Chain A
Amino acid sequence: VSRRRPARACTAIAAVLAFAGAAGCTGPAPSASGAAPGAAAGAGTAAPAASGAAAAGLPDASLLAWMRESFVARGQAGLDRLDQDDTQRRCSMAAARGGLPPDEAESIRRDNQALLRIPTGPLAGSWTRGEAIAQNGVGRQFSDPPDVPSGGNCYACHRLSAQEIAFGTIGPSLHQYGRLRAGVPREILERETYGHIYDAQAYTACSLMPRFGARGILDDAQIRDLVALLLDPDSPVNRP
């Protein structure tokens, strides 16, 4: 099975922004049966009486209903966290199937563009506050105090400043992010950067990146601070 990239509206700006590395929806296609010696034999003979979910072998509505019974609400994490939105549902199915058809990708992208709320005017806050948000992994776990603002935990997946060497590689490196886009008009660059943090799936369907604004993880001021971290010439992201 070949890897399929989600279709994207490749405007010149989007190409310049090139977040493509985060287009994580299409990881290696899972093998259909190789890992499950008995799976093929079970396809017709398994008795899915306990759960219709097994029959399809897909993360469908019956699986989600069955899944719920294995969880309990704890702290701030209620069972409603298992209620998938349309994007989550469609991206789960695409990942299980090992591919995202181009028209499905375009539809998901449009849905998420409708969720974008990008304020007008300058969008860059403080890069020093942005760096703290990028380092902070607290928030939204059942073990976290509900009133403490969430961090962005950007370093979990991205390289940003060269000084922080404990960075993850699930997303692309963002080191030199602003410098590499110096030719893009500032206003457009700020809006696109804000938009990617707010809802990356408005640009890349089924991106692995959380939709920080659309899902209410970060507020407007925090996203502005992250925009500054990425774009400010004095930010460590844009220093050697």
Chain B
Amino acid sequence: VPASRSFIRLPGRCVRTAAGGLLRLGAALAATVLLHGTVGAADPAGTPADSTARGIARYREAVADSNPGELWEVRGEALWTERRGPRNVSLEGCDLGKGPGVVDGAYALLPRYFADVDRVMDLETRLLHCMMTLQGFTRAQALRRPFGAGALRSDFEALAAWIAGRSRGLEMDPPQVWPKEIEAYRLGRSLFFVRAGTHDFACHTCHGQSGRRIRLQELPDLLDPASVRAIYGSWPAYRVSQGEMRTLQWRMNDCFRQQRLPELVFGSDVSVALITFLAVNARGGIVDAPGVRR
């Protein structure tokens, strides 16, 4: 659960949002969220979450023609083609797995093994690799801002939104062919059960059962492929509560923060293994990114 949350209390009602999260949206959209995100009267268990889910669904409808995520997609496409970095080259030479510069359909096949680095990489780890090897950024330069915060925007979030969007409508089909691809899945599955830290939390603590919620947030059962298929394709996602585009690297990082563990390194083997575990469980699910989530 995010540490900082603000509550807007209305008579007999309670609306949860994050401070400033709605600032990016126009007043009309904000009103939509506030109205439909509002949870109902204090009666039976189960109702509030249903109501929240319905609210988000209505919000998605309301913004269907103007998903705020499009702002990130537009910037992501520009970042892909723009000549940047010490070498002043674009990312158009970046091989996302289907050959240099091929973006269409690439996301549906990630993570995958890349022979040039002898490693499995997810989209963001591959982008980091290309920023360093093609554009000449140092690791520290490229990772100056992996996750955006308001005006301080992340290039990864924009690039990931655009690239994932170029697989929209396709089925997730990350390969399990190379030994390291198979190994990454198995490592991801093992990591899922690791309990550690002050609170004894594992991924499994919150995501090992179906039909549970934390506060009002519904928790997907990530051991159930049907459940993973239903959500994986909506990442990267515009988070209404944060007013930000969020990626899977962010999701992994922030889950470990909430597990009270140290910080997960962007593009690390653990991050790639967990994303591989999810992506393979999501096989057959349709990419609908960038999505809209609470």
Using a CB–CB distance below 8 Å, which chain A residues touch chain B? 24, 27-28, 30-31, 34-39, 41-42, 45-48, 50-51, 53-54, 56-59, 63-64, 66-67, 69-74, 77-79, 81-84, 87-88, 91-93, 95-96, 137-144, 153, 155-157, 159, 162-163, 165-170, 173, 208, 210-211, 215-217
Q: Establish whether residues B39 and A165, one from each chain, have CB atoms under 8 Å apart when the complex forms.
A: yes
Whether A70 contacts B268 in the complex (CB less than 8 A), given A34-B225, A217-B199, comes out as yes
Pick from A24, A50, A157, A216: contact of B214, CB under 8 Å: A157
B39 lies within 8 A of A142 (CB): no
B59 to chain A, nearest CB (A): 18
| Pair B212/A168 contact, Cβ less than 8 Å | yes
Contact A210 B280 (CB under 8 A): no
Decide if A137 touches B3 in the complex (CB within 8 Å). Answer: yes
Are A138 and B3 touching (Cβ within 8 A)? yes
- CB neighbours of A47 from chain B (8 A): 179-180, 183
The total of Cβ contacts below 8 Å across the A-B interface reads 224
Q: Are A46 and B16 in contact (CB under 8 A)?
A: no
CA distance A180 to B48 in the complex (A): 25
Does the CB pair B265–A39 fall under 8 Å?
A: no
Question: Contact between B215 and A155 (Cβ–Cβ < 8 Å)?
Answer: yes
B42, B177, B186, B221: which contacts A28 (Cβ < 8 A)? B221
**Could you tell me the distance between the alpha carbons of A30 and B204 in the complex, rounded to whole angstroms?**
10
Q: Give the distance in Å from the alpha carbon of A137 to the alpha carbon of B186 in the complex.
A: 33
Q: Check if B225 sits within 8 Å of A35, measured CB to CB.
A: yes
CB B294 to nearest CB in A, in angstroms, measures 13
Contact of A42 among B186, B191, B269 (CB under 8 A): B186
Which residues of B are in contact with A by a Cβ distance under 8 Å? Answer: 1-3, 5, 14, 16, 39, 42, 45, 47-48, 176-177, 179-183, 185-187, 189-202, 204-206, 208-217, 219, 221, 223-225, 256-258, 260-265, 268-271, 280-281, 283
The answer on a CB contact under 8 Å between B196 and A70 is no
- Rounded to whole Å, the gap between the CB of B285 and the closest CB of chain A is 12
**Closest A residue, CB atoms, query B199:** A210
Q: Which of B191, B199, B224 has the most CB of A within 10 A?
A: B199
B-side contacts of A210, CB under 8 Å: 198-201
The answer to whether A71 touches B215 (Cβ under 8 A) is no
Q: Are B190 and A168 in contact (CB under 8 A)?
A: no
Query: A24–B206 Cα gap in the complex (Å)?
Result: 10
Q: Chain A residue with minimal CB distance to B183?
A: A54
- Residues of B within 8 Å of A87, CB to CB, are 200
Distance, CA A35 to CA B174, complexed state (A): 12
- Residues A57 and B179 in contact in the complex (CB < 8 Å), given A88-B200, A166-B39: no
Q: Which A residue's beta carbon lies closest to that of B207?
A: A27
**Distance in Å from the Cβ of B128 to the closest Cβ of chain A?**
14
